[in-house]
Amino acid sequence: MATSTTAPDADRREPRAGSPARRPARRPRGPRRSLLPYLLLAPAIVLELAIHVVPMVVGVWMSLLELTQFHIRDWSTAPFIGLENYRATLDLNSAAGKELLHSFWVTLAYSLLSVGFAWLLGISAAVVLQRPFRGRAILRALFLTPYALPVYAAVITWSFLLQRDTGLVNHVLVDQLGLLNERPFWLIGDNSFWSLLVVSVWRNWPFAFLCLMAGLQNVPGELYEAAAIDGAGFWRRLRSVTLPMLRPVNLVLLLVLFLWTFNDFNTPFVLFGGSAPEQADLISIHIYRSSFKTWDFGSGSAMSVALLLFLLVVSAAYLLITNRRRDDHA
């Protein structure tokens, strides 16, 4: 189809495209060749626009509107209120602001602890499974199961296990082992935070395990041999060989895990439903509740934008610090 529209056509339609002197220079390349890269890029650009850029711009725009049930049907008619949504949701003297700050601290603690434990479990399992032994393949498959299960099925099972009266956890702790006299609540009250953390670590650590196992495959055996000749024990080898060699993997792994956990919606939503206990009120659930349960999409968008900015700053700072350290080393 490119041949049907040849150079004269281009001339006619682009009279203002630069000086005549430059035009002959472009002509020999032919329209097909100059168009091809753009055509090849087009799908990616269209998708990028549709999936990331447009929703992001719309989200920022929504955060400047008073977008409630009155305007949700045609949100372009919602009144423009500037930064009012940001003022209302980030004002730490108001109930909404205090609750958002509370959610923020809960989410931060949840993310740091979850990533920490997931990483610890992941690296331990990866190191242990490094050496070949009988049953290694089975263990590997077993460890990866939580990652392969559909989120909903896995988390809803946890919610059954954690029920106070009929759950297996209390049955084992109270009835079988006799460790506790009273049946504790796991899905409401103070314990709900720890329940959420356990489920999150259980879901996340196989990913850490997978990445770190792959990373360990790339550590040359000679390094360990040399270390052994130098008389390094297990811990010394771990500290001086394994961890430094895993650095690039860890950099990405920790950042990705942190971002995922900070934004995690599935785990708390399936575990607690749309209204999580205040002790486990993660920011994602908080935003969902503002947007969809109280029908205030403007505030929800404002919180989302604030959250995005925070995560961008965290990621940038993390990358900056870790890159500088690498430069120092190099």
Binding site for another protein (CB under 8 A): 1-2, 5, 9-10, 13, 31, 34-35, 38-39, 42, 46, 66, 68-70, 72-73, 75, 88, 94-96, 99, 163-165, 185, 187-190, 273-275, 277-278, 289, 292-296, 299
Please say which residue, 114 or 192, places its beta carbon nearer to another protein.
192
Residues 6+ apart with CB under 8 A from 5: 31
Cα angle 52-58-61, degrees, rounded to a multiple of 5: 140
Q: How far is the CB of 270 from another protein (least distance, A)?
A: 11
d(CA 304, CA 308): 6
Please say which residue, 185 or 260, places its beta carbon nearer to another protein.
185
d(CA 54, CA 165): 48
Q: How far is the CB of 162 from another protein (least distance, A)?
A: 9
Please say which residue, 32 or 236, places its beta carbon nearer to another protein.
32
Please say which residue, 2 or 51, places its beta carbon nearer to another protein.
2
CB atoms within 10 A of CB 207: 18
Q: How far is the CB of 31 from another protein (least distance, A)?
A: 5
| Nearest alpha carbon to residue 246 among 158, 119, 152 | 119
Q: How far is the CB of 18 from another protein (least distance, A)?
A: 15
Please say which residue, 106 or 187, places its beta carbon nearer to another protein.
187
Q: How far is the CB of 174 from another protein (least distance, A)?
A: 13
Give the bridge partners for 80, in sequence order.
Answer: 65
| 30, two tokens | 């032919």
Which uninterrupted H or E stretch holds 23?
helix 23-26
Please say which residue, 264 or 281, places its beta carbon nearer to another protein.
281
Q: How far is the CB of 158 from another protein (least distance, A)?
A: 14
Cα angle 155-159-164, degrees, rounded to a multiple of 5: 165
